[in-house]
């Protein structure tokens, strides 16, 4: 005859999982709208936004539609957006001189967003790859490698121009040595002591960037571009911690790991190594693969999206750059 005596267990872990309300009480990690940053793309010209084929739901805005989108994003409670320009090929050259041209669409976009939504924090990438005809993040030397110091000088000029246009945070993503200190010095000398630096401290030479390069047009010349002489080896973690320590010493206000999902161990290692605010970028390839698998019926879209973001937060990120930001904010309402 069956009995209900069961086994003698003092602790039954399932008791804390029994109902939705109990699970909410003991939940260790919570993803909030305030944790999200929405990346947005902008192009010159007028008309409707252009869809990015490799990133469902993502578009290249005009300056006008970008301002409208930023109003919507702010209305959802998202505190910040990150802007990336799509530059016409005819304006590119080997040294990225259009980056600091007053006619650069990025500067018009910054001014338009700050006018439309003054309270929205505006993060702007400091990088030359949208402006170079070879697609690299810096200036090539005579041997085909990136020349570090001249690139840093160009990035410093770009950061100052972005600050003058109204950027709240500049985010050097180039991985050149010494660029954080040089940018901090240039910003301060130009009277922009209040502009913060979010350093892409651990940016890996990842295979997950392809759709982004499609969006900004930086992979049009020769894709995939080999950026392994300046972006980090995906095999390394200790090096990432050292990069963060150097950027912290040079004056970074915040640091970042990119990509996020495949590098959760790096996020955790850096969280334990610094007290600076930590960002993680859920990159275009992470976004695209969730969409692709869901379209094929292999994964549940919403559950997978939310679990991926929760994992990034659980690993230790304070803020997450994600193309899912606006729709997740809608769901959190």
Q: Write out the catalytic residue numbers.
A: 203, 258
Q: Of 124, 118, 80, nearest to 105 (Cα)?
A: 124
Instruction: DSSP letter for 233, please.
Output: P
On the question of a cis peptide bond just before residue 259, with omega within 30 degrees of 0, the verdict is yes
Q: How far apart are CA 298 and CA 141, in angstroms?
A: 46
Mention every residue, 6+ apart, whose C-beta is less than 8 A from residue 78.
33, 34, 36, 37, 38, 325, 326, 329
On the question of a cis peptide bond just before residue 35, with omega within 30 degrees of 0, the verdict is no
β-bridge mates for residue 7, sequence order: none
β-bridge mates for residue 197, sequence order: 170
């Amino acid at each position: 005859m069956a009995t209900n005596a069961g086994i003698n267990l003092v602790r039954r872990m399932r008791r804390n999982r029994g109902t939705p309300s109990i699970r909410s009480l003991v939940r260790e990690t919570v993803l909030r709208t305030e944790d999200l940053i929405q990346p947005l793309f902008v192009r010159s010209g007028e008309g409707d936004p252009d869809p990015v084929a490799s990133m469902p739901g993502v578009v290249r805005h005009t300056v006008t539609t970008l301002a409208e989108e930023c109003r919507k994003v702010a209305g959802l409670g998202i505190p910040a957006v990150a802007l990336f320009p799509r530059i016409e090929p005819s304006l590119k050259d080997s040294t990225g001189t259009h980056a600091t041209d007053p006619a650069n669409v990025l500067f018009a976009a910054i001014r338009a967003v700050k006018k439309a939504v003054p309270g929205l924090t505006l993060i702007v990438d400091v990088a030359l790859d949208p402006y170079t005809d070879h697609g690299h993040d810096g200036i090539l030397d005579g041997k085909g490698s990136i020349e570090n110091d001249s690139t840093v000088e160009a990035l410093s000029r770009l950061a100052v121009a972005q600050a003058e246009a109204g950027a709240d945070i500049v985010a050097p993503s180039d991985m050149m040595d010494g660029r954080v200190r040089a940018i901090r010095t240039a910003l301060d000398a130009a009277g922009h002591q209040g502009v913060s630096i979010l350093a892409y401290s651990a940016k890996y030479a990842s295979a997950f960037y392809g759709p982004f390069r499609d969006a900004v047009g930086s992979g049009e010349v020769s894709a995939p571009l080999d950026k392994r002489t300046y972006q980090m080896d995906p095999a390394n973690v200790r090096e990432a911690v050292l990069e963060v320590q150097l950027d912290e010493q040079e004056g970074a206000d915040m640091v970042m790991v990119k990509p996020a999902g495949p590098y959760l161990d790096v996020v955790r290692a850096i969280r334990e190594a610094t007290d600076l605010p930590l960002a993680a970028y859920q990159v275009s390839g992470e976004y695209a693969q969730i969409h692709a698998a869901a379209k094929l019926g292999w994964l549940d879209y919403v559950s997978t999206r939310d679990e991926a973001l929760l994992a990034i937060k659980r690993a230790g990120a304070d803020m997450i750059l994600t193309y899912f930001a606006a729709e997740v904010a809608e769901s959190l309402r």
